[in-house]
Copies of this chain bind each other. A is one copy, B any other.
Amino acid sequence: LSSARVAVDAGGGDHAPEEIVAGAIRAYEDGIEVLLVGPGLTGVPSGIEVVEAADVIAMDDPDPAKAVRSRRQSSVAVASRLVKEGRADAVFSAGSTGAALAAGVLEVGRIRGVARPALAVVLPFGSSPTVLIDAGANADVRPEHLAGFAVLGSVFAEVNLGLDKPRVGLLSVGEEPGKGNELAKQAFPLVEAAVPSFVGNVEGRDIPTDRVDVVVTDGFSGNVVLKTLEGFGKFLLNELMGVFTATDEAREAARVLMPGLLELAGTLSPDSTGGAHLLGVKGVCIIGHGSSNAEAVRNALRIASSTVEAGLVGAVTRRLEKVEVQ
């Protein structure tokens, strides 16, 4: 049995609470200690602690940050507060991303030395997964924030991907140091100073390659990258399906290839990585896709648990103490 306790926002998600509860039960059966947070939850096995939360913030709430501040009994706020109170080590929500981000920053709280917590996503590119940070928490940033993201992403890659010296690149529009927008150009020397294995500017085309382990950018560009990959992946899958079903002969041939193709699709699926990690807060905080089904929730809770056990929060805290001393 894992020693990590994960608080689950049962109120957040397109398929909440049913799929969230089902996923939490599967994770519990896998040996993960789960606390389910939400209003009027039923059918929960006795081994799972239920924490009542009277309120739920809707997926399409127009001002989720404000909602989190004013509705402290919302399921995402209560679940996040369990981490602050030491009753849980991690929190998972598949609800409104804005609400989960705000709850992470406000309720879990920032680690000393972190100006801006940021979202890290592991892009599952075969043998060379890449961490993208910030994937959408901070739409407008200053150059020094990118240096902070580089530190967070670097520690994350060490702890969660097991890399010794993760190569950190700054997303830009040309490889030479002078290329980029003002933000990237000003951030370049700051990122260089902040992490030991800086490989300089990288471009969008480098993301799926083995050139770089951590790609640092602002939350606007990062979110654009993430969603562009998502959309292009869906488009291509659809086009491939067209080729595979064009004739009887093609259908027959596609059947032979299907196991390999499904395996490829599985490794590239966002569900396989369990969601985005809000880094820089005093607990493991994972935000799942709104569409998360039970299996995606189970995966995310497994990753939440292993991230706690790997000691991510302690590692970030220690790294920032060092950076401050310098």
CA distance A178 to B64 in the complex (A): 12
Assembly stoichiometry (copies): 2
A residues in contact (CB < 8 Å) with B? 62, 125-126, 136, 139-140, 171-173, 176, 178, 180-182, 184, 203-209, 217-221, 223-236, 239-240, 242-244, 246, 249-250, 252-254, 256-257, 260-261, 263-264
Expressed in whole angstroms, the minimum distance between the Cβ of A226 and any Cβ of chain B is 7
Q: A235 with B208: in contact, given A221-B221, A221-B224, A225-B228 (CB under 8 Å)?
A: yes
Contact partners of A231 in chain B: CB under 8 A? 203-209
Looking at A172, A224, A257, A263, the one whose CB has the most chain B CB atoms below 10 A away is: A224
| Cα of A261 to Cα of B203 in the assembled complex, Å | 27
Docked pose: A220 CA to B209 CA in angstroms? 21
- 20 A-B residue pairs with Cβ-Cβ distance under 8 Å, sorted by A, are A62-B176, A62-B178, A140-B181, A140-B182, A172-B220, A173-B223, A173-B227, A180-B220, A203-B224, A208-B232, A220-B221, A228-B228, A229-B232, A232-B233, A233-B236, A242-B260, A252-B253, A253-B253, A253-B254, A253-B256
Choice from B180, B220, B232 contacting A181 with Cβ under 8 Å = B220
The reply to whether A257 and B250 form a contact with Cβ atoms under 8 Å apart is: yes
The residue of chain B having its C-beta at the shortest distance from the C-beta of A125 within the complex is B235
With known contacts A209-B235, A239-B264, A264-B243, A228–B229 Cβ distance under 8 A: yes
* A198 to B250 CA separation, bound complex (whole angstroms): 41
- Is there an interface contact between B205 and A171, defined as CB atoms closer than 8 Å? no
The verdict on A224 contacting B225 (CB below 8 Å), with A173-B139, A178-B62, A261-B243 known, is yes
Residues of B within 8 A of A235 (CB): 125-126, 208-209
Least Cβ–Cβ distance between A131 and chain B, in angstroms: 15
Q: Judge whether A225 and B250 touch: CB under 8 Å.
A: no
Whether A181 pairs with B139 at a CB distance below 8 angstroms is: yes
Q: Across the interface, do B220 and A204 meet the contact criterion of CB distance under 8 Å?
A: no
Question: What residues of B have a CB within 8 angstroms of the CB of A209 in the complex?
Answer: 231, 235
Which residues of B have CB within 8 Å of A236? 233, 236
Query: Do A249 and B256 touch across chains, with their CB atoms under 8 A apart?
Result: yes
Task: Tell me if B139 and A180 are in contact (CB < 8 A).
Answer: yes
Contact between chains at A224 and B171 (CB < 8 Å): yes
Given A239-B126, A260-B243, also A227-B250 (CB < 8 A): no
Nearest CB of chain B from residue A280's CB, rounded to whole Å: 19
Which of B126, B172, B205, B243 has a CB less than 8 Å from the CB of A228? B205
Query: Does the CB pair A244–B225 fall under 8 Å?
Result: no
Closest 4 A/B residue pairs (Cβ): A204-B227, A205-B231, A204-B228, A208-B235
